[in-house]
Protein backbone atom coordinates (compact mmCIF):
# COMPACT_ATOMS: atom_id res chain seq x y z
CA UNK A 1 0.00 0.00 0.00
CA UNK A 2 1.22 3.48 -0.84
CA UNK A 3 0.63 6.06 1.90
CA UNK A 4 -0.79 9.24 0.32
CA UNK A 5 1.38 12.33 0.53
CA UNK A 6 0.14 15.92 0.35
CA UNK A 7 2.94 18.47 0.07
CA UNK A 8 2.42 22.23 0.13
CA UNK A 9 5.02 24.12 -1.92
CA UNK A 10 4.89 27.70 -0.70
CA UNK A 11 7.32 28.84 -3.44
CA UNK A 12 8.56 32.38 -2.65
CA UNK A 13 5.62 33.11 -0.35
CA UNK A 14 5.05 32.97 3.37
CA UNK A 15 6.03 34.73 6.54
CA UNK A 16 6.88 33.96 10.14
CA UNK A 17 3.22 34.58 10.92
CA UNK A 18 2.08 32.00 8.36
CA UNK A 19 4.48 29.40 9.77
CA UNK A 20 3.08 30.04 13.24
CA UNK A 21 -0.53 29.75 12.03
CA UNK A 22 0.16 26.39 10.35
CA UNK A 23 1.82 25.06 13.51
CA UNK A 24 -1.27 26.03 15.51
CA UNK A 25 -3.87 24.75 13.03
CA UNK A 26 -2.21 21.37 12.53
CA UNK A 27 -1.44 20.72 16.22
CA UNK A 28 -2.84 17.46 17.56
CA UNK A 29 -4.19 14.50 15.64
CA UNK A 30 -6.89 16.00 13.49
CA UNK A 31 -5.59 14.55 10.23
CA UNK A 32 -6.29 11.05 8.92
CA UNK A 33 -3.70 8.63 10.36
CA UNK A 34 -2.68 7.01 7.10
CA UNK A 35 -1.54 10.21 5.43
CA UNK A 36 1.82 11.99 5.10
CA UNK A 37 1.74 15.78 4.92
CA UNK A 38 4.65 18.10 4.24
CA UNK A 39 5.02 21.86 4.15
CA UNK A 40 7.76 23.29 1.94
CA UNK A 41 8.48 26.90 2.93
CA UNK A 42 11.36 29.09 1.68
CA UNK A 43 14.77 28.41 3.28
CA UNK A 44 14.72 31.18 5.91
CA UNK A 45 11.64 29.68 7.59
CA UNK A 46 12.89 26.11 7.90
CA UNK A 47 14.22 26.37 11.41
CA UNK A 48 11.18 28.23 12.70
CA UNK A 49 8.92 25.71 10.94
CA UNK A 50 10.75 22.78 12.48
CA UNK A 51 9.97 24.16 15.94
CA UNK A 52 6.44 25.31 15.09
CA UNK A 53 5.55 21.90 13.58
CA UNK A 54 7.02 19.83 16.43
CA UNK A 55 3.60 18.94 17.85
CA UNK A 56 1.96 18.45 14.45
CA UNK A 57 2.08 15.64 11.88
CA UNK A 58 3.65 18.09 9.40
CA UNK A 59 6.97 17.07 7.89
CA UNK A 60 9.31 19.65 6.48
CA UNK A 61 10.44 20.03 2.88
CA UNK A 62 12.83 22.33 1.00
CA UNK A 63 12.32 23.76 -2.48
CA UNK A 64 15.74 22.99 -3.96
CA UNK A 65 19.30 22.13 -2.96
CA UNK A 66 22.80 22.39 -4.31
CA UNK A 67 24.24 19.35 -6.02
CA UNK A 68 27.58 20.20 -4.36
CA UNK A 69 28.48 19.04 -0.83
CA UNK A 70 30.12 22.30 0.36
CA UNK A 71 32.46 25.08 -0.68
CA UNK A 72 32.55 28.26 -2.74
CA UNK A 73 28.95 28.28 -4.03
CA UNK A 74 27.53 31.60 -2.94
CA UNK A 75 23.79 31.52 -2.36
CA UNK A 76 23.50 27.75 -2.40
CA UNK A 77 22.32 25.37 0.34
CA UNK A 78 23.62 21.81 0.68
CA UNK A 79 21.71 18.61 1.36
CA UNK A 80 23.56 18.09 4.64
CA UNK A 81 22.48 21.55 5.85
CA UNK A 82 18.86 20.73 5.06
CA UNK A 83 19.14 17.42 6.90
CA UNK A 84 20.63 19.20 9.91
CA UNK A 85 17.52 21.40 10.07
CA UNK A 86 15.10 18.48 10.09
CA UNK A 87 14.14 18.58 6.42
CA UNK A 88 12.69 15.28 5.18
CA UNK A 89 11.74 16.07 1.55
CA UNK A 90 13.34 18.22 -1.13
CA UNK A 91 11.91 19.25 -4.50
CA UNK A 92 14.15 18.58 -7.47
CA UNK A 93 13.61 19.77 -11.03
CA UNK A 94 10.51 21.87 -10.39
CA UNK A 95 9.42 23.39 -13.71
CA UNK A 96 10.03 26.90 -12.34
CA UNK A 97 13.67 25.91 -11.68
CA UNK A 98 13.90 24.36 -15.15
CA UNK A 99 12.32 27.41 -16.86
CA UNK A 100 13.83 30.30 -14.93
CA UNK A 101 17.09 28.89 -13.56
CA UNK A 102 18.18 26.77 -16.49
CA UNK A 103 18.11 23.48 -14.62
CA UNK A 104 18.49 20.45 -16.87
CA UNK A 105 17.80 16.75 -16.45
CA UNK A 106 21.51 16.26 -15.73
CA UNK A 107 21.25 18.83 -12.92
CA UNK A 108 18.20 17.04 -11.55
CA UNK A 109 20.14 13.78 -11.46
CA UNK A 110 23.01 15.36 -9.52
CA UNK A 111 20.63 16.96 -7.05
CA UNK A 112 18.76 13.70 -6.52
CA UNK A 113 22.07 11.96 -5.76
CA UNK A 114 23.05 14.70 -3.30
CA UNK A 115 19.66 14.50 -1.56
CA UNK A 116 19.77 10.70 -1.26
CA UNK A 117 23.31 10.82 0.07
CA UNK A 118 22.12 13.04 2.94
CA UNK A 119 19.09 10.82 3.67
CA UNK A 120 16.52 13.23 2.21
CA UNK A 121 13.60 12.10 0.04
CA UNK A 122 13.85 13.81 -3.36
CA UNK A 123 10.51 14.76 -4.90
CA UNK A 124 11.40 14.68 -8.59
CA UNK A 125 9.13 17.01 -10.58
CA UNK A 126 8.34 16.28 -14.22
CA UNK A 127 5.78 17.64 -16.64
CA UNK A 128 5.12 18.77 -20.18
CA UNK A 129 4.68 22.29 -21.51
CA UNK A 130 1.52 23.34 -23.33
CA UNK A 131 3.43 23.21 -26.62
CA UNK A 132 4.49 19.63 -25.94
CA UNK A 133 0.94 18.62 -25.00
CA UNK A 134 -0.50 20.21 -28.13
CA UNK A 135 2.11 18.42 -30.23
CA UNK A 136 1.08 15.08 -28.71
CA UNK A 137 4.47 14.79 -26.99
CA UNK A 138 3.34 14.60 -23.35
CA UNK A 139 4.34 11.00 -22.79
CA UNK A 140 7.77 11.37 -24.40
CA UNK A 141 8.51 14.58 -22.50
CA UNK A 142 7.55 13.17 -19.12
CA UNK A 143 9.16 9.76 -19.55
CA UNK A 144 12.30 11.41 -20.92
CA UNK A 145 12.65 13.52 -17.77
CA UNK A 146 12.09 10.46 -15.61
CA UNK A 147 14.49 8.23 -17.51
CA UNK A 148 17.30 10.78 -17.28
CA UNK A 149 17.22 10.55 -13.50
CA UNK A 150 15.95 7.05 -12.70
CA UNK A 151 17.88 4.98 -15.22
CA UNK A 152 21.35 5.73 -13.83
CA UNK A 153 20.21 5.08 -10.23
CA UNK A 154 20.45 1.61 -8.71
CA UNK A 155 17.29 -0.12 -7.45
CA UNK A 156 17.83 0.83 -3.79
CA UNK A 157 18.17 4.50 -4.54
CA UNK A 158 15.22 4.60 -6.96
CA UNK A 159 12.91 3.30 -4.26
CA UNK A 160 13.59 6.30 -2.03
CA UNK A 161 12.12 8.86 -4.46
CA UNK A 162 8.72 10.47 -4.81
CA UNK A 163 7.63 11.58 -8.28
CA UNK A 164 5.47 14.63 -8.89
CA UNK A 165 3.76 15.03 -12.24
CA UNK A 166 3.04 18.71 -12.79
CA UNK A 167 1.84 19.72 -16.26
CA UNK A 168 3.48 23.11 -16.75
CA UNK A 169 0.32 24.57 -18.31
CA UNK A 170 -1.64 23.76 -15.13
CA UNK A 171 0.75 25.42 -12.68
CA UNK A 172 -0.57 28.63 -11.19
CA UNK A 173 -3.03 29.04 -14.06
CA UNK A 174 -6.21 27.78 -12.42
CA UNK A 175 -6.38 25.37 -15.36
CA UNK A 176 -6.25 22.00 -13.60
CA UNK A 177 -5.71 18.85 -15.63
CA UNK A 178 -8.96 16.90 -15.64
CA UNK A 179 -8.83 13.77 -13.48
CA UNK A 180 -8.81 11.75 -16.72
CA UNK A 181 -5.89 13.73 -18.21
CA UNK A 182 -3.90 13.46 -14.99
CA UNK A 183 -4.65 9.74 -14.60
CA UNK A 184 -3.67 9.00 -18.22
CA UNK A 185 -0.17 10.41 -17.74
CA UNK A 186 0.21 8.91 -14.26
CA UNK A 187 -0.69 5.56 -15.76
CA UNK A 188 1.97 6.04 -18.45
CA UNK A 189 4.45 6.78 -15.67
CA UNK A 190 3.41 3.70 -13.67
CA UNK A 191 3.63 1.49 -16.75
CA UNK A 192 7.09 2.83 -17.55
CA UNK A 193 8.21 2.20 -13.95
CA UNK A 194 6.89 -1.33 -14.31
CA UNK A 195 9.21 -1.88 -17.26
CA UNK A 196 12.12 -0.69 -15.09
CA UNK A 197 11.29 -2.61 -11.92
CA UNK A 198 7.89 -4.09 -11.01
CA UNK A 199 8.34 -3.65 -7.24
CA UNK A 200 9.21 -0.03 -7.79
CA UNK A 201 6.03 0.55 -9.80
CA UNK A 202 3.94 -0.75 -6.90
CA UNK A 203 5.64 1.24 -4.15
CA UNK A 204 6.69 4.59 -5.63
CA UNK A 205 4.34 7.45 -4.82
CA UNK A 206 3.14 9.59 -7.72
CA UNK A 207 1.82 13.04 -6.86
CA UNK A 208 -0.23 15.30 -9.11
CA UNK A 209 0.48 19.05 -9.06
CA UNK A 210 -1.10 21.98 -10.93
CA UNK A 211 -3.95 24.10 -9.59
CA UNK A 212 -5.02 21.46 -7.06
CA UNK A 213 -7.54 22.97 -4.66
CA UNK A 214 -9.95 21.86 -1.95
CA UNK A 215 -12.78 21.62 -4.46
CA UNK A 216 -10.99 19.43 -7.03
CA UNK A 217 -8.61 17.43 -4.81
CA UNK A 218 -10.95 14.55 -3.97
CA UNK A 219 -11.66 13.78 -7.63
CA UNK A 220 -7.97 13.88 -8.58
CA UNK A 221 -6.90 11.84 -5.56
CA UNK A 222 -9.52 9.19 -6.32
CA UNK A 223 -7.64 8.23 -9.51
CA UNK A 224 -5.91 4.85 -9.16
CA UNK A 225 -2.42 6.09 -10.03
CA UNK A 226 -2.51 9.37 -8.09
CA UNK A 227 -1.05 8.92 -4.61
CA UNK A 228 -1.12 12.52 -3.45
CA UNK A 229 -0.68 16.13 -4.41
CA UNK A 230 1.98 18.79 -4.74
CA UNK A 231 -0.01 21.91 -4.00
CA UNK A 232 1.15 25.46 -4.73
CA UNK A 233 -1.21 28.41 -4.30
CA UNK A 234 -3.83 26.48 -2.35
CA UNK A 235 -1.24 25.42 0.25
CA UNK A 236 -0.84 29.01 1.44
CA UNK A 237 -4.21 29.21 3.16
CA UNK A 238 -4.34 27.03 6.20
CA UNK A 239 -8.04 26.08 5.91
CA UNK A 240 -7.77 25.30 2.20
CA UNK A 241 -4.67 23.16 2.71
CA UNK A 242 -6.26 21.38 5.65
CA UNK A 243 -9.32 20.56 3.53
CA UNK A 244 -7.10 19.11 0.77
CA UNK A 245 -5.36 16.92 3.37
CA UNK A 246 -8.71 15.71 4.64
CA UNK A 247 -9.84 14.73 1.16
CA UNK A 248 -6.73 12.54 0.86
CA UNK A 249 -7.50 10.59 4.03
Site string for ligand 13P, 126-165 (x = CB under 6 A): ----------------------------------------
Coil, strand or helix: which one is 59?
Answer: strand
Q: 205: part of which helix (H) or strand (E)?
A: strand 205-209
Q: Which residue's CB is nearer to ligand 13P, number 51 or number 234?
A: 234
CB 212 within 8 A of CB 234: yes
Among 49, 121, 230, 244, binds ligand 13P (CB under 6 A): 230
* In the complex, minimum distance from the CB of residue 45 to ligand 13P, in angstroms, rounded to a whole number: 17
| Nearest CA among 53, 55, 42 for reference residue 82 | 42
Residue 172 as a binder of ligand 13P (CB under 6 A): the answer is yes
- CB neighbour list of residue 152: distance below 8 Å, 6 or more residues apart: 109
DSSP state of 169: G
101 is catalytic: no
| CA max distance for the chain | 48
- CB neighbour list of residue 238: distance below 8 Å, 6 or more residues apart: 18, 21, 22, 25, 26
Among 66, 211, 216, 247, binds ligand 13P (CB under 6 A): 211
Residue 233 as a binder of ligand 13P (CB under 6 A): the answer is yes
Among 46, 161, 212, 214, binds ligand 13P (CB under 6 A): 212
Task: Compute CA 209 distance to the chain's CA centroid, rounded to the nearest angstrom.
Answer: 8
Q: Which residue's CB is nearer to ligand 13P, number 97 or number 158?
A: 97
- In the region spanning residues 6 to 35, those forming contacts with ligand 13P, defined by CB under 6 A, are 9
DSSP state of 210: S
Is 11 assigned a ligand-binding role in the annotation? yes
Half-sphere exposure of residue 177, counting CA atoms within 13 Å on the CB side?
A: 30
Among 209, 244, 245, 247, binds ligand 13P (CB under 6 A): 209
* In the complex, minimum distance from the CB of residue 209 to ligand 13P, in angstroms, rounded to a whole number: 4
Runs of H (alpha helix) within the chain: 16-25, 46-52, 79-84, 95-100, 105-117, 130-134, 138-150, 155-158, 179-196, 198-203, 214-221, 238-247
* In the complex, minimum distance from the CB of residue 230 to ligand 13P, in angstroms, rounded to a whole number: 5
| Catalytic hit among 96, 103, 128, 166 | 166
Among 171, 182, 193, 220, binds ligand 13P (CB under 6 A): 171
Is 9 assigned a ligand-binding role in the annotation? yes
Number of residues in contact with ligand 13P under rule CB under 6 A: 14
166 is catalytic: yes
> Can you say which residues are annotated as belonging to the binding site for substrate?
9-11, 172, 211, 232-233
Active site residues: 94, 166
**Residues that bind ligand 13P in the complex, under the rule CB under 6 A:** 9, 94, 166, 171-172, 209-212, 230-234
Amino acid sequence: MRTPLIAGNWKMNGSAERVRAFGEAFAGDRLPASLDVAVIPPFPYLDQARRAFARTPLALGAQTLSPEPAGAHTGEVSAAMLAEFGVAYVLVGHSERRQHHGETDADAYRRVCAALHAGLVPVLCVGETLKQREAGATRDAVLGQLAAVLKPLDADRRRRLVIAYEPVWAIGTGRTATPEQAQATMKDIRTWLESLDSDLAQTLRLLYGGSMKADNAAELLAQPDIDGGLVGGASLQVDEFFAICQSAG
